[in-house]
Amino acid sequence: MAKKAELLEKAAELKLEVSEKNTIAEIEEAIAGAEKHEVKEAAPAKAGKRSEKSIREAEEKADKEARKEAGDTTSQTGEEETRKKGPAPKVRSRLERRGKSYRKVHELLEAGKVYPLAEALELATKTNPTKFDASVEIHVRLGVDPRQADQNIRSTVVLPNGSGKSVRVAVFAPESDHEAAKKAGADVVGDETFLKQLDKEELNFDVLVATPQYMPKLGKYARLLGPRGLMPNPKSGTVATDVAKAVTEAKAGKVEYRVDKQAIVHLSVGKVSFGAAKLEQNARAFFDSLQAQKPTSLKTSYVKSTSITTTMGPGIKVENVVS
């Protein structure tokens, strides 16, 4: 009976539902089952179950994401922000960052106004901020795709009053054409001797004229001449059988223009010293040439915008002359 009393006392500690009516064997079995259950609960978590640390980290991460979405940037440690913020940076406009001369001539322009061609060229002669005789440039944004062969605009135009630049012309042709080229005003004339100059990378010319039969000899110099825009090309009139005529045109003010990757054509039509009247004649000749180059396959507008500027001067928006 003493053993049964001890077992009942132990069962009471384990809060088991047993009484004196149960046999000793039944009480021992219940105690053994209770002790086995306690051991299982106290055992460490098996692989695959989340520990208390991982659960706590997941809760902290979820809380952080919630505060981030709500825009709550307050410190969670209870410490106050001690860093002082400086004054907001003062951003000047592009015009304010320009020089005094530029800002002075810019005052002659009306903001947002689009000028007629003649008036724009008259303004261009007055808005030259430099002390030298600046070039007057025309920039035309086209609606073409330069990647398409039929829309890759490239041509030449003879400016009636010249470009205002001293052009050095070189001629690469047979000896029979040398005398005619020199009389036309060519600065450099040669055949095999000219190739020796190219081997030394002596490029003392602005325009290179060559005859068709001599063009294959220039193939090895394409990487030297091409990037500088000096490689003769039939479209620009620098590959010609009549070298004297080509030299005369180049000296008289024949210039080449072509669309760039951004679909813009840039061309200098003279100097500020030309005056508005001569500049307008040159500009009209350029726009007539540009109109003639309009692709027949183009479905959008040919010209999107036109502007005129001097070297280092402000841009002047111009009414589109080419449709």
205/135 same-domain check: no
d(CA 206, CA 256): 12
pLDDT tens digits, 284-309: 999 999 999 999 888 889 999 999 99
237/263 same-domain check: no
pLDDT tens digits, 173-194: 999 999 999 999 999 998 888 9
300/241 same-domain check: no
158/171 same-domain check: no
Provide CB contacts within 8 A for 139, sequence distance 6+: 264, 265, 266, 306, 307, 308, 309, 315
239/173 same-domain check: yes
169: domain CATH number? 3.40.50.790
321: domain CATH number? 3.30.190.20
Report the SS3 class of residue 29. helix
Domain boundary among 25, 40, 55: 40
Q: What's the Cα-to-Cα distance from 57 to each of 68, 138, 208, rounded to whole Å?
A: 16, 66, 75
Count of domains in the chain?
3
pLDDT tens digits, 111-161: 889 999 999 999 999 999 988 999 999 999 999 999 998 899 989 898 999
Task: Provide the domain limits for residue 7.
Answer: 2-40
155/294 same-domain check: yes
